[in-house]
Amino acid sequence: MVDIDDLKANFLDTEFDRKDFVLNPDKMVTAATTSGETRAQYIDPDHPDFQATPAFLCSLASGQHLPIDFPSLGGIPMDGGKAVECFAPVRAGIPLTGRTHLHDIYDKKGRSGRMIFIVVRLELFDDSDVHLATTDSRMVIREK
């Protein structure tokens, strides 16, 4: 059985990946309109407040899903959902840096057994090191 406290002690809050991004305005518009967005600041690149939708930010990912030395937990991994918190508009064409770390690890017991939840946090910064947004991706692993 996996020791959750041991995983937390060894892996939480340590950056394990960094990736640079520059958002493409056409892709931002496509994602926004496909999801039914109608507000001009998300679908019109000429709008003075043009920015990425929170849903678009969820599509950004680092090169690694887990730290290189994270142990195999076995079981069946599943997507456990996403969450986004925006602190400032994320604009097209500017250099961004995504810094990734494990934010939380916890377990729950269900009818099918124990499930382990891993929250991978990607924090987006601009080239002035201003923290623009945070995306959390939850991975759920049903223990065998």
pLDDT digits (tens, 9 = 90+) for 114-136: 899 999 999 999 999 999 999 99
pTM (2 d.p.): 0.92
Domains and their CATH numbers in the chain = 4-22+62-142 (3.10.129.10)
Q: What is the pLDDT of residue 62?
A: 80
What pLDDT sits at residue 143?
Answer: 80
At 95-104, the pLDDT tens digits run 999 999 999 9
Is 44 a residue whose pLDDT tops 90? yes
d(CA 137, CA 141): 13
- Cβ pair 66, 119 in contact under 8 A: no
**Banded pLDDT at 4 (limits 50, 70, 90):** very high
Question: By the 8 A CB rule, do 80 and 139 touch?
Answer: yes
Which strands sit side by side in the sheet containing 17-22, from one edge to the other? 17-22, 95-110, 113-126, 131-142, 76-86
CA distance 10 to 6: 6
**How would residue 113 be classed by pLDDT, with cut points 50, 70 and 90?**
confident
Q: How confident is the model at residue 75 (pLDDT cuts 50, 70, 90)?
A: confident
2 pLDDT band, cuts 50/70/90, is confident
